[in-house]
């Protein structure tokens, strides 16, 4: 998790592949449009985008309406219910297309992935605005900058969680097993994020170390805001690289395993992401490995019938 170089590589490879996939999904070719099939409209791009935006706004509204009804519990304080509502909505639509429509085919992944874009953008903006509106303990420019860095980090983290949740719930016919695995993995990941936040932000070990080194080298007296700003910057850099790396790894695994999902009915996305991180291999190696494995699989495995 803390191999920043490897996570940055995962993020770079994943995002480099996302742009051409998004262009392919939102194209102007009337003969090359799968989003209409997924979302139940045969019309062109404008109609599909309208439905995606409406879905994103509807999910946000439902999540905000549900939030006051949730019982007060410490674990629930860290859950974004609008993001949960959006994740459920997309998972239901994707699962219906993948496992019930009979229309899913191997080249559909760019369309499915790109259709998450409006919801992710809305979740990121909403999370950033709500975080920025919270009162700042330390006023002034530096305090506001620290607050903005933390808000940006939380927004990217929420997008990463939403992507992982939708991928996990959609890459298995057995949604109960997928949901159980997702909750366990997110709980463990949340603990790791909490430890990182505690060390880098709450305790703040980077700021005093950097300040001490600079004082020892230059002999200068540093301003009071230097250490908090260093802590906020280190926290934002580390956590954003982690979140972006997770997003890139999720994209890589889901894209390379999409054919296996259609053939076998189940792919353990979370375990595959962990194995990708442990193996330390590039996306090209993953693609080569997956192509070789798919070529060897001459007989498709029997999919589970649990829904």
DSSP labels for 144-176? HHHHHHHHHHHHHHHHHHHHHHHHHHHSBS-HH
Residue in 203, 271, 201 with CA at minimum distance from that of residue 239: 201
pLDDT of res. 42: 55
Inter-CA distances, 155 with 58, 159, 173, 280, Å: 19, 6, 30, 27
Residue 210 near residue 217 (C-beta atoms within 8 A):
no
pLDDT of res. 41: 56
Strand stretches in the chain, DSSP E: none
Q: Nearest 5°: phi and psi at 73?
A: -150, 135
pLDDT of res. 10: 78
Inter-CA distances, 56 with 126, 159, 269, 294, 305, Å: 11, 13, 24, 35, 30
User: Rounded to a whole number, what is the distance in angstroms from the first to the last CA of the chain?
Assistant: 33
Q: Which residue has the tokens 């926290």?
A: 235
pLDDT of res. 306: 40
pLDDT of res. 291: 46
- What pTM did the predictor assign? 0.77
pLDDT of res. 135: 65
pLDDT of res. 137: 63
Parts of the chain with a pLDDT under 70: 1-4, 26-37, 39-51, 71-78, 132, 135-141, 277-307
pLDDT of res. 300: 38
């Amino acid at each position: 998790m803390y191999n920043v170089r490897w996570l940055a590589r995962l993020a770079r490879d994943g995002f480099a592949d996302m742009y051409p996939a998004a262009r392919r999904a939102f194209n102007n070719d009337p003969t090359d449009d799968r989003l209409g099939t997924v979302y139940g409209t045969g019309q062109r791009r404008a109609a599909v985008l309208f439905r995606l935006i409406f879905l994103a706004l509807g999910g946000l509204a439902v999540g905000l309406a549900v939030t006051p009804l949730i019982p007060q519990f410490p674990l629930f304080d860290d859950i974004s219910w609008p993001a949960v509502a959006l994740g459920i909505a997309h998972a239901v639509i994707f699962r219906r297309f993948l496992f019930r429509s009979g229309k899913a085919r191997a080249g559909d992944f760019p369309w499915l992935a790109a259709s998450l874009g409006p919801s992710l953008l809305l979740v990121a903006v909403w999370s950033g605005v709500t975080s920025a509106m919270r009162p700042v303990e330390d006023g002034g420019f530096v305090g506001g900058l620290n607050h903005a860095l933390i808000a940006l980090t939380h927004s990217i983290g929420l997008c990463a969680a939403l992507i992982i949740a939708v991928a996990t719930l959609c890459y298995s016919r057995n949604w109960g097993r997928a949901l159980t695995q997702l909750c366990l993995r997110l709980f463990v990941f949340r603990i790791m994020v909490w430890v990182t936040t505690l060390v880098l932000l709450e305790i703040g070990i980077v700021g005093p170390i950097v300040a001490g080194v600079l004082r020892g080298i230059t002999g200068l007296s540093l301003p009071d805001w230097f250490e908090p700003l260093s802590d906020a910057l280190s926290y934002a850099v580390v956590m954003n690289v982690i979140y972006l790396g997770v997003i890139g790894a999720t994209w890589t695994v889901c894209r390379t395993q999409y054919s296996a999902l259609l053939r076998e009915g189940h792919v353990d996305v979370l375990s595959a992401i962990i194995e990708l991180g442990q193996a330390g291999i590039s996306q090209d190696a993953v693609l080569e490995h997956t192509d070789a494995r798919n070529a060897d699989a001459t007989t498709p495995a029997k999919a589970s019938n649990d829904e």
